[in-house]
């Protein structure tokens, strides 16, 4: 028997399918995993004036802003991934995304192009500082994968050995495999061939086609939006955080770029056709008992 829970957070739907003999343990572990996802949402919601990101945007140019351990860890991953991808993954493109988006506060003048290079993270003091007042974070290219990794860690610590976690179907973590199967089969639309088979691996999909039909991925070097006709990317690896960032980077840079040649050996990247929608669905004939969590948080 598999048990499924669902939660709205970060502007999307997270789902966890977990298997095991002890239903009470599964329910408790899934609930704890969702609590961690909700914490991430509240910290990094760019549309909420109460979030940590909003405080960083309003204060971090004036003084270093204290940050919690989760945000510190995520920003250190961002620094590493920004360097690995030659800046094609950049979590500081919020000012560019504000153009044409009434939900976001616009920034006067042209947004700075130094991106994450204008962010100072002090690990010892656990603070972050912005070197330019118009810099704005947008963690959409990495936060869902990071939240899925956190949820997976909680499930493993609770003794769950079979689970599938996804955030908006674009960030996926597979733990073990369902009973009677070797792996989880994930269909990725736009990718030729058989489904992706995951066992103790992660997957992320990036596509320029955003909701409403306009591109939502930015060229960090210019601030322009990538054409919705451009191919996307799917990346497979040990951590959803890295898969998320590299899928974005490969969509920005393309698979014939120098950036693509630098992808770590622990990751596999493949192009996908430009499609209006990208979906992954776990294929399983195993009966699933579903409980939909009533908690719903505001739009991310």
82-139 pLDDT, tens per residue?
A: 999 999 999 999 999 988 788 888 888 877 787 899 999 999 999 999 999 999 999 9
Strands 288-296 and 282-283: unpaired
Residue 269: pLDDT above 60?
Answer: yes
113-123 pLDDT, tens per residue?
A: 878 999 999 99
Structural domains in the chain, sorted by start:
2-43+142-284 (3.10.520.10), 49-130 (1.10.3980.10)
Is the Cβ–Cβ distance between 238 and 170 less than 8 Å? no
Flag the least confident range among 103-107, 159-163, 198-202, 223-227: 103-107
Flag the least confident range among 26-35, 122-131, 209-218: 209-218
Confidence of residue 210 (pLDDT cuts 50, 70, 90): low
CB atoms within 10 A of CB 84: 18
Q: How high does pLDDT run on average in the chain?
A: 88
Instruction: Quote the pLDDT of residue 215.
Output: 61
Higher-pLDDT residue of 266, 297: 266
Flag the least confident range among 49-53, 150-154, 283-287: 283-287
Residues of the chain with pLDDT > 90: what percent? 71
142-195 pLDDT, tens per residue?
A: 999 999 999 999 999 999 999 999 999 899 999 999 989 999 999 998 777 789
Instruction: Quote the pLDDT of residue 70.
Output: 98
Instruction: Quote the pLDDT of residue 281.
Output: 40
Higher-pLDDT residue of 247, 295: 247
Q: How far is CA 286 from the centre of its chain?
A: 28
Strands 2-9 and 288-296: parallel
Instruction: Quote the pLDDT of residue 275.
Output: 55
């Amino acid at each position: 028997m598999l048990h499924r829970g669902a939660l709205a957070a970060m502007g999307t739907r997270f789902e966890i399918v977990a298997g095991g003999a002890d239903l009470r343990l599964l329910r408790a572990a899934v609930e704890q995993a969702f609590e961690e996802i909700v914490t991430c949402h509240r910290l990094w919601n760019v549309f909420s004036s109460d979030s940590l990101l909003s405080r960083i945007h309003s204060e971090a140019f004036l003084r270093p802003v204290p940050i919690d351990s989760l945000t510190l860890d995520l920003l250190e991953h961002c620094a590493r991934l920004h360097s690995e991808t030659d800046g094609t993954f950049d979590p500081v493109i919020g000012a560019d995304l504000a153009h044409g988006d009434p939900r976001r506060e616009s920034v006067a003048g042209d947004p700075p192009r130094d991106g994450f290079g204008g962010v100072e993270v002090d690990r010892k003091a656990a603070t972050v500082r912005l070197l330019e007042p118009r810099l704005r974070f947008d963690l959409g290219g990495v936060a869902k994968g990071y939240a899925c990794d956190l949820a997976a860690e909680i499930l493993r610590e609770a003794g769950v050995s079979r689970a599938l976690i996804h955030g908006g179907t674009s960030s996926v973590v597979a733990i073990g495999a369902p009973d009677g199967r070797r792996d989880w089969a994930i269909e990725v639309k736009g990718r030729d061939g058989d489904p992706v088979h995951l066992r103790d691996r992660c997957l992320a999909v990036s596509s320029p086609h955003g909701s409403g039909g306009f591109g939502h991925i930015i060229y960090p070097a210019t601030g322009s939006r990538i054409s919705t006709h451009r191919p996307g990317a799917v990346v497979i690896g040990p951590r959803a955080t890295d898969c998320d960032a590299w899928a974005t980077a490969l969509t920005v840079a393309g698979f014939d770029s120098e950036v693509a040649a630098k992808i770590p050996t622990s990751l596999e990247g493949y192009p996908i056709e430009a499609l209006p929608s990208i979906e992954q669905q776990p294929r399983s004939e195993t009966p699933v008992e579903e409980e939909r969590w009533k908690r719903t948080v505001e739009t991310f």
